[in-house]
Amino acid sequence: MSTTHDHSKTQELADVKHSLSDLIAEAPEIEQFAGFVEGAEATSVVDHKTKELVSLAIAVVTRCDHCILWHTDAALDAGASHDEIVDVLKVAVVMGGGPALMYAVDAYDTLLALESERAEN
């Protein structure tokens, strides 16, 4: 992987996190879901790395691009190796709420862009 590509994905993830914060600020009801996610990802019985690997597998199965980026980064931060991540990519599970949240971020960004374009016309 090139350094430019790494920076691009890092910036993309930072942008998604920023937009998520903005969306939560405008729709505080979503903060309850974010709190649930944080609680579910807390380590009590299953360690953080394992939870991130499971989340990554679910993100892949549900084809959530932002979730894949988010949980790949988090799995690496939690100490997952290349081989562990590749192995986890074989896992098939079902996921519902997380992908919807990430696509809500896309919809929010689209809304802001369209509103901006319309204001200029």
* Per-residue model confidence as pLDDT tens digits over 44-57: 889 999 999 888 87
Q: Please say whether the beta carbons of 93 and 57 come within 8 A.
A: yes
Q: How far is CA 96 from CA 2, 5, 57, in A?
A: 33, 29, 13
Could you report the per-residue pLDDT of 103-121, keeping only the tens digit for each? 445 444 555 555 576 588 7
Residue 109's CB: how many other CB atoms inside 10 A?
15
Distance, in Å, from the CA atom of 79 to the CA atom of 77, rounded to the nearest integer, reads 5
Segment (H or E) for 69:
helix 65-77
36 or 97, greater pLDDT: 36
pTM beyond 0.75, yes or no: no
Relative orientation angle of helices 48-61 and 65-77, to the nearest 10 degrees: 160
Q: Does the structural domain 3-116 have CATH classification 1.20.1290.10?
A: yes
Of 25-39, 82-96, 106-120, least confident by mean pLDDT is: 106-120
Distance, in Å, from the CA atom of 19 to the CA atom of 26, rounded to the nearest integer, reads 11
